[in-house]
Amino acid sequence: MNITFTCIGLQFSAEVDYEPYIPARISGPPEDCYPAEGGNCEITSLTRNGQPADFLLESDIADDLNEAAFAACEESLQSQREEAEEDRAQARADDRMCGY
């Protein structure tokens, strides 16, 4: 996944391996319960102003970069979900207007 995010007041572009967070289910029958999974983001390539910045992934701010990248992934996916919901709502409204 390619993202753009801000960390330490600077804007970065990154390619990341992103795994969304899936919360645990801890109530109900045991066969329906499972532990939490995911919630990871690993930057595989980092640039700043088009210049390689991968060296920062080995620095003291590496954790901050990964956390900011994870937040940007979550925000991007939430935005995509909202757009899809709006599209579905519009399609339903159009269907009702056309008598479907």
| Residue 95 in tokens | 């269907």
pLDDT of residue 52: 97
pLDDT of residue 82: 86
Name residues of the chain where pLDDT drops below 50. Answer: none
pLDDT of residue 68: 95
Domain count, the chain: 1
Q: What CATH number is given to the structural domain containing 72?
A: 3.30.300
Tell the residue number behind the tokens 């579905």, with chain if given: 88
pLDDT of residue 6: 96
Using an 8 Å Cβ cutoff, are 47 and 53 in contact?
A: yes
pLDDT of residue 49: 95
Q: What is the pTM (predicted TM-score) of this model?
A: 0.71
Which residue range is the domain that position 60 belongs to?
A: 2-98
| Residue 99 in tokens | 């008598």
pLDDT of residue 50: 94
Tell the residue number behind the tokens 């007041």, with chain if given: 9
